[in-house]
Amino acid sequence: MKNTVVVGAQWGDEGKAKITDLLAQNADVIIRYQGGCNAGHTVVVDNKTFKFHLIPSGILYKNKICIIGPGTVIHPESFEKELNGLIEEGIDVSNLKISPLASITMPYHIEIDGYSESNAGKGKIGTTKKGIGPTYTDKYARIGLKIQDLYSAETLSEKLDIILPLKNKQLEKVYGLEPYSKECITALCEKYAELFKPYVCFEWQDLLREHKKDTILFEGAQGVMLDVDYGTYPFVTSSNPIGGGAATGSGYGPRMIDEVIGVSKAYVTRVGEGPFVTELNDETGDKIREIGHEFGVTTGRPRRCGWFDAVIMKYAVLVGGLTSIALTKIDVFDSFDEIKVCTAYKDTRNGQIYTSYPTDVFIHKYLEPIYETHAGWGVDITKIKEYDKLPENAKKYLERLEELLECPISIISVGPDREQTIIK
């Protein structure tokens, strides 16, 4: 296997965890490069379900180095819960490494996220309320805490003297929240230092150099349409899930990346607010949700469901830097007579047709999807392991998607288990 980035190609929840898990078999090092515990990655191995949020699912394999990279944000309490859950299941976590450069989600970040969501009115994003936006805000405002700060009392003290007066003013005056004393934050940081200590990789530069010739898997979270630069801004997360994010968030530069696999469902789902042109608020949407078990791993929220949207996928191929696609959950359509694919949008105000993705999402309420309809295949495909054995209509559907997206489909997933995968 070449060095590969796994990217969500839609609005997250595309089944990246399964594809990452599959590719991790042939990787030596797995690096999660962005996001935090807002992600929810489900992996099924031997009928056992594991739910990951931040720790790379590659940890299920022995002898793989799993790194929580510099581009991530870590909420200590959520990390502790996830880690303990794995330890209780008997998973060996000794190969887990945390980058000293990763950012820390502090309690006030969670409070600000909650406050902002409750008071945003029409601007509500529908975040996971895990403090992701406020943590990245502080990172980019250069007033964030990094894992490495926990291990130098002097650095921490100096930084807190800069950060806390600003933060407290903001907490009190902007959000009407309680301020934090330096003693309180210092005591918390001492606790965090203990928690992370066995995993922090201070020699990360040596580690990355040592593995430069090995196979690296870069694990993304969320998806291209939630990317802070390219997604449905402002209804996005605060990091860069796109393939390029792996170059900034992993510690390895762009020349280490050979392939970018974009994971996409055979339909589209979204959680939280924001535009979604092919959304189905009808029985078909309910049917997809029910058969596809479309409920959030992190928040339990029912996911919004809709038909496959080739407009956003073509965009994802471009800006995500995709070299191929892993198509998941195609088996959800086994009982469908007809399957629709959106090939363009029509502006209901003036009839304008969009085949390229319109980035001003505030006009999306005026867009309606233009569909082409494909005949279903009407048989159970969940046990098929070879492409040639797929029903003709399923193959036709897949070939049409490749044609529309100008990108090959390299992996087809026909069920949640590792075994239920067709490599093309």
Identify whether the C-beta of residue 188 lies closer than 8 Å to the C-beta of residue 124.
no
Selected from 71, 133, 306, 415, the binder of ligand IMP by CB under 6 A is 133
**Shortest distance in whole angstroms from residue 239 CB to ligand IMP:** 8
In this structure, what are the phi and psi dihedrals at residue 182, rounded to the nearest 5 degrees? -60, -35
Give 376's Cβ-side CA count (13 Å radius).
Answer: 14
Binding mask 231-250 for ligand IMP (x = CB under 6 A): ----x-xx------------
Where do we find the tokens 């993304």? 220
Identify whether the C-beta of residue 289 lies closer than 8 Å to the C-beta of residue 305.
yes
Q: Based on CB atoms, which residue is closest to ligand IMP, 8 or 100?
A: 8
> Rounded to an integer, what distance in angstroms lies between the CA atom of residue 329 and that of residue 292?
7
Cα–Cα–Cα angle for 359, 362, 366, rounded to 5 degrees = 100
Selected from 24, 189, 271, 342, the binder of ligand IMP by CB under 6 A is 271
C-alpha of 233 from chain center: 16
Selected from 42, 78, 222, 240, the binder of ligand IMP by CB under 6 A is 222
> DSSP label at 368?
E
Selected from 3, 4, 20, 38, the binder of ligand IMP by CB under 6 A is 38
Q: Based on CB atoms, which residue is closest to ligand IMP, 130 or 374?
A: 130
Which residues lie below 8 Å from residue 20, measured CB to CB, with a gap of 6+?
6, 30, 41, 56, 57, 58, 217, 219
- Total interface residues for ligand IMP by CB under 6 A: 21
106 residue type, one letter: M
**Shortest distance in whole angstroms from residue 13 CB to ligand IMP:** 5
Q: Based on CB atoms, which residue is closest to ligand IMP, 32 or 374?
A: 32
Binding mask 101-130 for ligand IMP (x = CB under 6 A): ------------------------xxxx-x
Q: Which residue is nearest to ligand IMP (CB)?
A: 272
Q: Is residue 41 flagged as an active site residue?
A: yes
User: What would you measure as the largest C-alpha separation in the chain, in angstroms?
Assistant: 67
**Shortest distance in whole angstroms from residue 8 CB to ligand IMP:** 7
> Rounded to an integer, what distance in angstroms lies between the CA atom of residue 224 and that of residue 78?
24
Q: Is residue 360 flagged as an active site residue?
A: no
Using CB atoms within 10 A of its CB, is residue 413 exposed (0-12), middle (13-18) or buried (19+)? buried
Q: Based on CB atoms, which residue is closest to ligand IMP, 34 or 95?
A: 34
Please report whether residue 272 would count as binding ligand IMP according to CB under 6 A: yes
> Rounded to an integer, what distance in angstroms lies between the CA atom of residue 101 and that of residue 399?
43
Q: Based on CB atoms, which residue is closest to ligand IMP, 128 or 413?
A: 128
Binding mask 8-37 for ligand IMP (x = CB under 6 A): ---xxx------------------------
Tokens of 328: 């998941």
Active site residues: 13, 41
Q: Which residues bind ligand IMP (CB under 6 A)?
A: 11-13, 38-40, 125-128, 130, 132-133, 221-222, 226, 235, 237-238, 271-272
